[in-house]
Structure formats: C-alpha cells, structure tokens
Structure 1
C-alpha cells in the first residue's frame, strides 16, 4: 500500500501531538510529584499523616506528601548526613536561629523571600529564620510556645483565691497559699538549671525590659544586662525561693511536673508545652495566666519561636514545595496544627479558635500583651561564654540565694562583653 504525502504529514502531526501530550502529562506529574518532609518531631507523625496531609490533598490532590521523622537528639546529625549525601527531604524542619541560619549560609535552605503567604507572619515570628539583617527569610514559621503560669483551680477554690491580674496580686496570692495551706505555692526546681531561666527569667523578664524594645537594644549594644530592668528581673526571681517547695534545689523538671499533677502545688511556672502532659496526667481542672506586670503597666509575653519548615534547594519539586508552604500559611493549617498540638501555637496572624481551654487562655494573651522571644536566642549566644547557658546558672544562683542580683547581672554582662561587639 502506498501512502500519500498528505497522509504521511497527517500521521506525523498526529504522532507529534500524541508525544507532546504524553510529555506534557509527564511534566505536569513531575511538577506536582512527590514531596518528603524530614522532622525531629517524631511524636506528631499521626497528626501529619491523618490530619495535615489529607487536608492539603483535599486542595492539591496531585501532590503526594510523605512525612518522615528522626528522634529529636539524632535529627541534626541525621539531616547533615543526608544533605551531604544528597538524600535530604524536599522540605526540612527548621530549629530556630543559628542552627538553621548555618544551614542557609551553607546553601542548604532556599530563600523564601516573596513566597505567597509569608506576609501572614509578623517580623517577630520570622526573626528566628532570617539573616541577621532581616533581608532573607529561609523557613516558614510554624509554631511557638508561650510562657506563663498554670494553676490548680480546685486549690484556688478551696482557698477562696482569684486569678491574679497584677504583679502585686501575684505575690499576695503566693503569700496566702504559703500561710493558709499545706500546698507548695509555686512549683519549680533549680536542679536542671534551664527551668530557672526558661520558666523564670525569660517568663517574667519581658515585662521589665519591654519585650522587643529591650531585646533589640541588647543586640545593638544600647542596653546592658546590668541595666535596671535586668537587675529588677533577677531581684524578683530571687524572691521566688521562699515560695518554692521543700528541696527545690534538688528538684528536676520531671519532679516539678509530678508535684503539680499530684495536686500538691498551687501555681506552676510554665511553658505551654506542658498542657498535653497535664491533660493526660492531672485529675483536676487547671487554668493559665500570663506573666504579670505591675499595676497600670503594659504587659509582655515570651511567645517563643519554636519550629518552622524550609525547602531543600536541591528538591526536584520546588514548585510543589512552595505550594505546600503557601498552604501552611493559611488559616486552615493554623487551626489544624494548633488544635492538634495543644500548647504549640501557629505563628501566623490568623485568628484561630482553639478547642483546648487552657491553650486558648495562653493564646489569648497575644491579644492582651505584646509578644517577644527569649532575649538570649538571637546572636547573643554565638560566643563563649554562651549567654543562654550563663542565664541558666545566674537564674539558679539568685533563686538559691548564692549570688546577689547585682552580681549576677554583672557576671552576665562581663561574659557577653568578653566576646560580643555589636554589629560584628
């Protein structure tokens, strides 16, 4: 059989169209493709697999997402090994500040500046995953934890106590509990050191140094740890010693948790991350309130950046990865994440209603107080002595009564001066 010229041309065109269609479909599939997420949070695998990813796929069914996790202590080493070997996930879970900044400087995280949805996060929320000059953002903020206090509602009812609203009322409440009951007024120990700094110094301090104003002044060298706000913070912290339980100097973090869940303590110096533990272990109702300023003064809270998600520059599905991060910037993700992990709060500016009442009490502080982050985490703990570790020791010593607030403040500033020069 002989084919005409027109038949050959028609056949060639049909073949070209068919090949083009197949190539286009393949390209589309590759653009959608498969995404992997690597994280250190191995306790929330089910939440990702059963709630977060299905919600995303309802909007984007063509993008497959696989969540993988390493034990927290092994994550950094595991991630670095994968990055070196070219086997790292498309999406990388980011710790705050220097650990992730180092990854970005080494070319292991993508600059997300201009990403759709990033405008839903404040400068404070983004600060943990930005270059020092704030010009590049390399991870999308996911969640923070908030500092404050939890209290046993049954003990408060038994003693006829109201939730304090000022610093003065807070200490009147502690004094009443101490004088009129067998309960430990304030639950915290100093054996593990980090508790004293995290739930003590960084909890109450922002009300003295005015949150971001004071934190940024330290970085700029315009403020000193020997200034009155820091000495006053350490002085208040020193007063806690008389309200802590017997043996508090030997009391570790799990001991503090047990003391409160057993109903032996009235007020617990807290981080919101403890909500899930107390929900599962305490057989009484408990509530929360924030760090309290003096009467008539503005309040500040430590709304500390905890976790974010970035893109591996070597991802083969860059557009799909950006699509996933932009979806994570929506109110839908904020609500799913915050309600699935009580005590870990979306860092976006969406108004999220939480089902857990204590989590709602914590997050409602954002509407009443100005947010800041722990003042030792950005830049100021890069050298030796490390300011964060120095704060652990100084906070413990003033609570234990082995160092005066003035001497502790001087030790902190001297240590910082020994290596830090503003603008370095």
Structure 2
C-alpha cells in the first residue's frame, strides 16, 4: 500500500495557501463609496460604521466632493472608477450607464423589493430596459408653508393653479410675502420649473423631442408663463438671495410659502425648531385630480462592473436596502424610500402621502434634459428678461446643439 503522507502533505499545503489567502482577503477588502450628497455624509457615516461592525473584514471609505458629477466624469476618463456609487438619478447617470461602466443588476433578487415606478424612471434614462443601479431614495418638489401664518388668514391648502395664485394675492393684500424666492442660485429655479413642466408639458414630451416630433416652443408656453408669474409674489430682489438665505428667511417667518424640495425641511427646522411647517404639491393645473407630485430617484446605488471586490460591494448595497437601514436614512434625511413598505411618517409631509398612495407621481423633467443645455441658467436669464418666445426658441436651439455633438 502506498503511503498517504505525500498526499496529505500536499493537501495541507493547499489548505494553508487557501486559508492564508482567505485571511489576507478578509483583512484587505477596502472599498470606496463615492456619493454626491453633502447633507448625507453624516448619515452614511453612521450606516457605514454599523456595516463595518457587522462585517469587520470590509472597510468602506466614503468619498464626497463638491460638484461630484464633474469629478466623477474626470475619474471615468482616467479609468479611476469608485467601487460603489450613490448618484442622482439623472441624465448623467443614464450616460454613464450607456457607457457600460456599471454592474448589471437584472438578476439581483433584491430588485423585487424596489418600487417599480422608480426602477422605470432609471430605465428611461438609458438605452434598453436593464437595471444598472438600484433606486435607494426618492425626493419630492413641494411648496413648504407656515401653518400658523395660513391659519391667521384662514387659508387652506390650494388645490389648483388659480387657487394658488388667489392665495398668493390674499397674502399680499394683507401685507405679507407669499413666496421667498432664491433665484440667485439658479438650481433653485428648477423646483417650481419641474413641478410646472411635469404637469403641463404633456405626455411623452422627452421621447417626442428626442425624435424631433415636438419642441419646447410647442409645448412649454404655459410652463414659461406660469413660472414668470411667480415673480409677482416674491420678496424684493428675488435674484439677490440664495438657497441658504432662503432657508433662514423662511424659518424666520419672512414669507408664508417657500417653493423648495423636501431636502430643505431639516435645515429650516434647525434654524427654527418651533416653526409649524407643512408641505403640499405645487398645484400646476386647474383640475385638482390631474395634478401630480414631482418625485424622482434622489440616490441610485450602483457598483463598478470592474471592481476588484464585487461580492463585498454588493453586500454593502444589500445592507443599505434592509428596511431598518432604509428607514433610518429617510428619517435622518427627510426623503422618501424607494424600498417597498418603508414609509416617511413625519407629520410635516403628511399632505403628500395621498400622491404616493394613489400613484400620482411624475418624474423630474430636468433629469431627462441633456446636461450640456445648462437649463437652470437659461431659465434664470429668461426670468430677468421676460421674453417667452425668445426663451423657448433658445431652449430648442440648445437642445439641438447638445444632441448634435
């Protein structure tokens, strides 16, 4: 009988190599989590700390930088791709997905736990119907209002555009400021713009515009007229104040309403914890049953398809999608969850609940505009000059210019 010692020795050597390799792997998994939301850094830090306690073999380094999209594009050009990314669900995300940078999540079992509407919003941003990211959170454009000030004048939440303007007139006639507008920061103009455009542009505008079957001049006349109308009811020098100043001014009671997203709620409450704050959907149309709340994917989670540690990266995403962690995030950030059966229960946004329950949700139109158009700056220029026809013609010419590149 041949001796088994040589075979055993070989097997032991193999086990030692494999075992040492496993230990080495466990000690060396370092993942970069690149995410674009400054206000979420601390919340993600706490979730990362929890994840690392549960998974001591994996270290996550969060990386947030100003102008994250520009930085990410620069890194992609150098093939320096983060392992895990938390990005806005917008045109840039769609472009990167089309470039083949992200992992394909079509076979991920946890996709079934994501609300279908938000998956579809992301799919509409790129070619085909695959899933190159996982919707994590959603936000919403709203009109924030001071409940106590409304009560003083006996005002109800307006349900139609005409009621909205009548409410603003009533406030003005009683010596108040209806809206605090922060149009010094061009991006803040997109809050009312998106609410109006989503409800007024008509069906399939983006698809038809891409096919050159329609134009901004044909479909955006009312959008332009109504956003310009808001200037009549803002404070003096609406182009002299930015987002942070607006948060503080509204918290101090300097206006009855503040057209902003749900992301502004926490800064306002930090400035004035005693403010009696509410939120409603901007009523862009005169049929209340037709009005939709603009809500889109605030953060989409994705992974580089070439990461050295795909299993560890996916483990982090699955961790974030657990109900208790998804709930923690939206409670901290005052956003909404894309995960099924995870609800935002803060009383400030109770009046938005009906839109989510009834499915009266529309995506952010600007998420589908080519990023090179610089739409916020174009709208800002229009609001200075007030020429609707010239403005709409400019939108079309800029669209055509970017699409022809």
Q: TM-score, structure 2 length as denominator?
A: 0.84
Of 292, 295, 300, which residue of structure 2 is paired with 1:300?
Answer: 292
**Residue number in structure 2 paired with 1:285:** 276
Shift of 1:167: 2.4
Shift of 1:337: 1.6
- 1:124–1:257 Cα change, 3 Å: same
Q: Are 2:250 and 1:271 equivalent residues in the alignment?
A: no
Shift of 1:72: 2.1
**Residue number in structure 2 paired with 1:160:** 154
Query: Which runs of 5 or more structure 1 residues have no equivalent in the other structure?
Result: none
Query: Which runs of 5 or more structure 2 residues have no equivalent in the other structure?
Result: none
| Counterpart Cα distance in 1 of 2:247 and 2:86 | 28
| Counterpart Cα distance in 2 of 1:27 and 1:356 | 48
Shift of 1:149: 0.2
Question: Contact between 1:186 and 1:269, CA under 8 Å: does it hold in 2?
Answer: yes
Shift of 1:184: 0.6
**Residue number in structure 1 paired with 2:394:** 411
Shift of 1:152: 0.6
| Counterpart Cα distance in 1 of 2:262 and 2:351 | 10
Higher Cα Rg, which structure: 1
Question: Contact between 1:144 and 1:305, CA under 8 Å: does it hold in 2?
Answer: yes
Shift of 1:46: 3.5
- 1:192–1:68 Cα change, 3 Å: closer
| Counterpart Cα distance in 2 of 1:123 and 1:334 | 18
- 1:219–1:368 Cα change, 3 Å: farther
Alignment of 1:53-68 (within 5 A): 54=50, 58=54, 61=55, 64-68=58-62
**Residue number in structure 2 paired with 1:209:** 201
SS in structure 2 of the partner of residue 168 of structure 1: helix
Alignment of 1:9-408 (within 5 A): 9=4, 11-23=5-17, 25=19, 30=25, 34-36=29-31, 37-51=33-47, 54=50, 58=54, 61=55, 64-73=58-67, 76-77=70-71, 80-81=74-75, 84=78, 88-104=81-97, 108-119=101-112, 120-122=114-116, 124-125=118-119, 127-128=121-122, 132-180=126-174, 182-196=175-189, 198-210=190-202, 213-228=204-219, 230-282=220-272, 283-292=274-283, 293-342=285-334, 344-348=335-339, 350-362=340-352, 365-368=355-358, 370-378=360-368, 380-382=369-371, 385-387=373-375, 389-394=377-382, 396-397=383-384, 402-408=385-391
In the TM superposition, structure 1's runs of 4+ consecutive aligned residues that sit over 6 Å from their partners are none
SS in structure 1 of the partner of residue 34 of structure 2: strand
| Counterpart Cα distance in 2 of 1:106 and 1:233 | 33
SS in structure 2 of the partner of residue 409 of structure 1: helix
| Counterpart Cα distance in 2 of 1:103 and 1:356 | 35
Question: Contact between 1:381 and 1:388, CA under 8 Å: does it hold in 2?
Answer: no
Question: Contact between 2:197 and 2:223, CA under 8 Å: does it hold in 1?
Answer: yes
**Stretch of structure 1 that moved more, 33-42 or 315-324:** 33-42
- 1:386–1:70 Cα change, 3 Å: closer
Shift of 1:79: 7.8
| Counterpart Cα distance in 1 of 2:173 and 2:39 | 41
SS in structure 1 of the partner of residue 326 of structure 2: helix
Question: Contact between 1:117 and 1:330, CA under 8 Å: does it hold in 2?
Answer: no
| Cα-to-partner distance string for 1:32-51 (whole Å, 9 max, x where unaligned) | 97352233445434323333
Shift of 1:404: 3.9
